[in-house]
């Protein structure tokens, strides 16, 4: 893992101490942190211009994950459909929080999407980062399994929660934690985004909605796929299901615009 050293220039007063903390980021190419500007591609904020921060590591292992380079490192025997593992040193970079804050600020966007991997694994350091960015609106993309500490929660404007269904390959006792889903279901900032590969996947979504009382207009069904043709084909049968049950449909705008690539 390459470590990027702290900046030598003086820090703003409210950033003091951030150069003593570090975050582990994913990389679009070896040694470069995955911090970039783009349009949000999914969920309730789709189409909005944002800054993205992609953190490394995940506590789950989805077989269809399209960011497996954030967790499926050499020696990790958890299954993935591509059967590819990634060299950790080339796909992770450690940066001090002050440097991360400076790079995000330099992008010039008003909204930040923090994604992964599972970003809440690094909740403590992330809270200090967001404290240093008081003028930005913050979205967190999470699998919904990690408890959010209060010192981080106060900075979050929107949670994009993506509970993992059985086709993800994760055991339900790991992927669907009742107390976490209860908490998010009661939070008006939380939206639920379910990856759908087959029409039968909806049965699991409906059962979770019944159990946790998700508001239908806070539930998004999103086709699984990493190319435009697959997404469009699945949306043909997904759209009527959304109409029938009052759910919202999420496309994957970034796939249509940029393909299945890093840093987009």
Instruction: Report d(CA 134, CA 14) in Å as an integer.
Output: 10
Q: Strand 190-196 vs strand 158-161: parallel, antiparallel, or unpaired?
A: parallel
Contact in structure between 97 and 21 (CB atoms under 8 Å): yes
Domain 2-258 has CATH 3.20.20.70: yes
The H-assigned helical ranges of the chain are 88-91, 97-107, 123-131, 150-153, 172-175, 178-185, 201-212, 228-245, 253-258
pLDDT score for 66: 96
Number of H helices, E strands in the chain: 9, 11
Q: Which of 230, 202, 69 minimizes the C-alpha distance to 252?
A: 230
Q: Residue 49 forms beta bridges with which residues?
A: 39
Instruction: Report d(CA 106, CA 20) in Å as an integer.
Output: 21
Instruction: Report d(CA 185, CA 192) in Å as an integer.
Output: 9
**Tens of pLDDT, residue by residue, the chain (264 residues):** 444 444 545 667 677 678 789 999 999 999 999 999 999 999 999 999 999 999 999 999 999 999 999 999 999 999 999 999 999 999 999 999 999 999 999 999 999 999 999 999 999 999 999 999 999 999 999 999 999 999 999 999 999 999 999 999 999 999 999 999 999 999 999 999 999 999 999 999 999 999 999 999 999 999 999 999 999 999 999 999 999 999 999 999 999 999 999 999
b/e burial code for range 6-32 (CB count within 10 A of at least 16 → b) = beeeebeeebeebbebbbbbbbbeeeb
Sorted by where each begins, the domain ranges of the chain are 2-258
pLDDT score for 2: 43
Instruction: Report d(CA 182, CA 120) in Å as an integer.
Output: 17
Q: From residue 148, how far is each of 145, 155, 159, 160 by CA, in Å?
A: 9, 11, 11, 13
Can you point out the beta strands (E) in 9-157?
A: 22-26, 35-39, 49-54, 92-96, 111-115, 137-142
């Amino acid at each position: 893992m390459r470590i990027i050293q702290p900046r030598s220039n003086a820090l703003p007063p409210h950033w003091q101490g951030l150069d003593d903390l570090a975050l582990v980021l994913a990389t679009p190419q070896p040694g470069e942190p995955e911090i970039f500007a783009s349009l949000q591609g999914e969920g309730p904020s789709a189409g909005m211009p944002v800054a993205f921060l992609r953190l490394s590591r995940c506590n789950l292992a989805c077989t269809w994950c399209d960011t497996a380079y954030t967790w499926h490192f050499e020696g990790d025997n958890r299954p993935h459909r591509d059967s590819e593992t990634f060299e950790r040193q080339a796909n992770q970079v450690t940066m001090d929080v002050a440097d991360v804050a400076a790079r995000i600020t330099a992008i010039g966007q008003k909204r930040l999407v923090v994604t992964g991997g599972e970003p809440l694994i690094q909740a403590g350091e992330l809270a200090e980062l967001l404290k240093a960015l008081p003028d930005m609106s913050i979205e967190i993309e999470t699998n919904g399994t990690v408890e959010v500490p209060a010192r981080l929660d106060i900075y979050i404007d929107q949670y994009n929660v993506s509970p993992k269904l059985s086709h993800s390959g994760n055991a339900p006792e790991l992927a669907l934690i009742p107390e976490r889903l209860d908490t998010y279901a009661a939070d008006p900032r939380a939206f639920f985004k379910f990856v759908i590969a087959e029409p039968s996947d909806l049965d699991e979504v409906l059962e979770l909605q019944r159990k946790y009382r998700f508001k239908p207009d806070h539930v998004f069904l999103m086709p699984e796929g990493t190319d435009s043709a697959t997404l469009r084909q699945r949306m043909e049968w997904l759209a009527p299901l959304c109409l029938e049950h009052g759910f919202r449909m999420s496309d994957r705008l970034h796939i249509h615009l940029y393909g299945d690539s890093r840093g987009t």
